[in-house]
Amino acid sequence: MISIEEYRRKYAFGEDYGTSEYKFGPVAERPDVIENRGFIIDKSSIVYRIAGITKNIIVGPEVSMYLGSREDMARFLVYPMRDGVIGKDDERAWSVIYEITKYGLLKFKPSDPKFKGFYVTAALSAIAPKYMYEKVFEIHKKIDEEYGVVKAVTIIPQPLAVAIAQKTITCIVVESGHGNTQITPISRYPIRGAIISLNRGGAEANDITAEILKDSGYGDLVHEEKLVRMVKEAIGLIPRNLNEAIKKAREDKDRFRAVFKVPNTPTVIDLGDNSWMRFLIGEIVFDPENEIFESYYKRGMPRPRDTRLGDEIIRGTINLADAIIKSAQKTPLELQPHLYKRIILSGGNFAWKVPELLKDVAVDAATKIKALLKERNIDAIVELTRDPMYSVWKGCIVYSIAVPDDYLWSWRRMEGWYKWR
């Protein structure tokens, strides 16, 4: 008979509820990933009855087979976690979260008769309100009562999961996903009063990509969010210096030409003379206040929304380096130099490629942040996690293995195992 510690190591399970993706699974090199979305079945449609479809919500890879007109996508395709938060009474969104959670847990349910359920660590946005914790606990309890797959569950903020994965307790984690960017100073635990969450992330890079596609004659494609994201990831670049990058790209159009072939289709997107715009896709993540974006805002592209922190308003367009400094300044002066010694970047919104032929003008996210801070007379050590898209999930796995079985959930400490059996 194996001990509790051995059992927990064997059946540790991590869940990262990202705005665009749900990453999940037991101990492995990498998690499984599905899009954090669900297709609501229209029960009034006779076609579904004839086909014998009894599900209410479709999640996972199967969603693609149910997509019909663009109008149907807008009505029935639900992305529950806009900006990392779900409304308390948003029943459709919570139903999707239930289904993707069930999908993840059942996919890895072992046939071992000694299996009594996973030790699940779920990661939510650092700004997730208490009711989201309660809802996620309720969902796992309900799934366990139906399928017997959860022995205990706990929840941690995504930035803390990153720090755990990087084996550090004093740092600033900047976690940037699709919906938001969380700047979180950590000294043993996230310093909640210093957290700054910006209402911008990969979605803003998607928005500018859509505008670039319109300007380049591909306006008919921008209604498909997944396609826009694919284009962004394929051609977007972070400029070392935006003005210099644009100048070089206009002078040497062939070297900087942006071409993307849509997989498994004959469609080819070629930006041609507009290829210099590929640098705007990366720049908007770091400095959406740059004057070059004003014309896009004026013609209707959403401006990143401001964030209210108590009585303070944080501009949605604030330069990312300024936001990091503002966050650090909310901690004790004695601590701040130690925080700048380790700034950790994580999240898919920082996973930008640097083509070998364009290294003179394009950089990775860590180099960009370090340069922006240097302009503000701060020498910082900035690093990008080895797997920026999966570091939250890795931290969840480590946490599941490390937390003792008898350390039970406390609403005061907001940590420990939540159990019901």
Contact 31, 23 (CB under 8 A): yes
pLDDT at position 208, please?
95
Residue extents of the structural domains in the chain: 4-37+79-158+390-402, 197-310+313-384
The pair of three-digit structure tokens given for residue 123, joined into one six-digit string = 């990661």
What is the band of 23 on the pLDDT scale with cuts at 50, 70, 90? very high
Q: What is the pLDDT of residues 203-213, one digit of tens each?
A: 899 999 999 99
Q: What is the pLDDT of residues 120-164, one digit of tens each?
A: 999 998 888 999 999 999 999 999 999 999 999 999 999 999 999
pLDDT at position 2, please?
83
Contact 349, 208 (CB under 8 A): no
What is the band of 49 on the pLDDT scale with cuts at 50, 70, 90? low
The C-alpha atoms of residue 25 and residue 304 are separated, in whole angstroms, by: 33
What is the band of 43 on the pLDDT scale with cuts at 50, 70, 90? low
4-37+79-158+390-402 against 197-310+313-384: fold identical: yes
For 66, residues 6+ apart whose C-beta sits below 8 A from its C-beta are: 39, 41, 58
Average pLDDT, the chain: 90
Q: 4-37+79-158+390-402: CATH homologous superfamily?
A: ATPase, nucleotide binding domain (3.30.420.40)
Residue 73 pLDDT exceeds 80: no
pLDDT at position 45, please?
58
pLDDT at position 348, please?
86
Q: What is the pLDDT of residues 77-135, one digit of tens each?
A: 888 887 778 999 999 999 999 999 999 999 999 998 889 999 999 999 888 899 999 99
Q: What is the pLDDT of residues 216-237, one digit of tens each?
A: 998 888 888 889 999 999 999 9
* String of DSSP letters for 229-249: HHHHHHH--EESSHHHHHHHH
pLDDT at position 284, please?
95
- Please give the CATH topology (third level) of the domain spanning 197-310+313-384: Nucleotidyltransferase; domain 5 (3.30.420)
Report the candidate in 129, 186, 133 with the shortest Cα–Cα distance to residue 163: 186
What is the band of 421 on the pLDDT scale with cuts at 50, 70, 90? confident
